[in-house]
Homo-oligomer: A and B are copies of this chain.
Amino acid sequence: MPSLRDVAERAQVAVSTVSAALNGTRPVAAATKLRIEQAAAELGYRPNLLARGLQSKRTRILALLYPAPRGGFGLTEMQFATGAAEEARELGYHLLLSPENADPIEELRHLTGLGLVDGVLLMEVRLDDERVDFLTRAGVAFSMIGRTREPGPIDYADIDFAVTARDAVAHVAGLGHRKLAFFNHSTDAYAAQYGPAIRAGAELAGAAALAGIGYVDDFRPGSAEEGGRAFEALLSAHPDVTALAVMDDHVAVGVLAAVAARGWRVPRDLTLMLVLSSSRVAEMFRPRLTTMEPPSAELGRLGARLLIDRLEGRARSLGEGGPRQRLVPCRLVIGDSSGPPRRQVP
């Protein structure tokens, strides 16, 4: 690999001039610049990132931190990662994939101590997240995909649960439904302070109230079987529920089975929709399920962009330099599982 010196020799100038010409750090005579660029091109010169980073304290490398997938990574998580990687690449950055081990803080301490990364992108942020405290204290630049309970002045990109809930409720209310049920994530996820579960529940409740329709979310099945049972329990407790939103794909499977078992059909007897599931999953059901599809890749891109903006001080220049927090709603993808409410049995 040719170095700056090789280019300098070939162009008959000093290394600092080459550096300046290539980086635009200081004015260089047009003629010299041309010679330099030509020499660099002929040699196939590429700046050595390590040398540059060692000197400038900037590597243009970002780390994406994620908990080692408990139940295996879903499509959604993957899209955060690929979205972030693409945005980073387009802005001239690299993305390091950093699975967390048992001790995320130690992991972070290690990672940031290496001098390898300029900033950190946090995935799977919990409502109370120790990683956030650590990074803040350590003065490391970071942004979140998702957010803590009180993000304060921290950059993040997250789902706009308020708008998502409003859209979901508007969808079912528009079809004429008067009472919506919601099967949130399992109690475990809820207890684990899983932000989306808690926010989705709260916002759906609010949106339903605002729209003046009934709302229930007492059930939190965690599997297909539990989903089926929860559905039956739901109907006996609330026979007037005609629309159901569920967070978990597997639960939807169980609900559909229970619907069929009692001789009902979707959407004739029940409007069923997914929340936070990709349309690729939704369309594997029959009937194809309506879903509120999360803007995963977009959130990944945004998270990366926010971080890079901050690193480059752009956050400060435009606007007042405060935190930049971006909310993106899910997209309503209407399948074949949405319809008017069933005629109530008398």
Question: What residues of chain A have their CB less than 8 Å away from a CB belonging to chain B?
Answer: 1, 44, 46-51, 53-54, 59, 61, 64, 68-69, 72-75, 77-79, 81-82, 85-86, 89, 94-99, 101, 110, 113-116, 224, 249-250, 253, 256-257, 278, 280-281, 283-284, 286
Contacts and interface: CB of A to CB of B under 8 A. Distances in A.
Given A81-B81, A99-B86, A48 B249 contact: no
19 contacts: A46-B114, A48-B114, A49-B114, A49-B116, A50-B59, A69-B82, A72-B278, A72-B280, A73-B82, A75-B75, A81-B97, A82-B97, A85-B97, A86-B99, A89-B101, A224-B283, A250-B284, A253-B284, A256-B286
A331 to B, nearest CB: 14
A237 B74 CA distance: 39
B85 A115 contact: no
Nearest to A77: B78
A54 B48 contact: yes
**List of 9 A-B pairs having minimum Cβ-Cβ separation, nearest first:** A46-B113, A78-B78, A48-B115, A85-B97, A50-B54, A49-B114, A50-B53, A49-B116, A50-B50
Given A48-B115, A51-B54, A54-B51, A98 B85 contact: yes
Contact of A98 (B94, B278, B280, B286): B94
A73 B79 CA distance: 7
Contact of A1 (B44, B75, B89, B113): B113
Given A50-B116, A54-B54, A96-B96, 18 more contacts: A46-B115, A47-B114, A49-B114, A49-B115, A50-B54, A61-B116, A73-B75, A74-B75, A75-B75, A81-B97, A82-B97, A82-B99, A95-B96, A95-B97, A249-B284, A250-B283, A250-B284, A257-B286
A49 to B, nearest CB: 5
Most chain B Cβ neighbours within 10 Å, of A51, A77, A284: A284
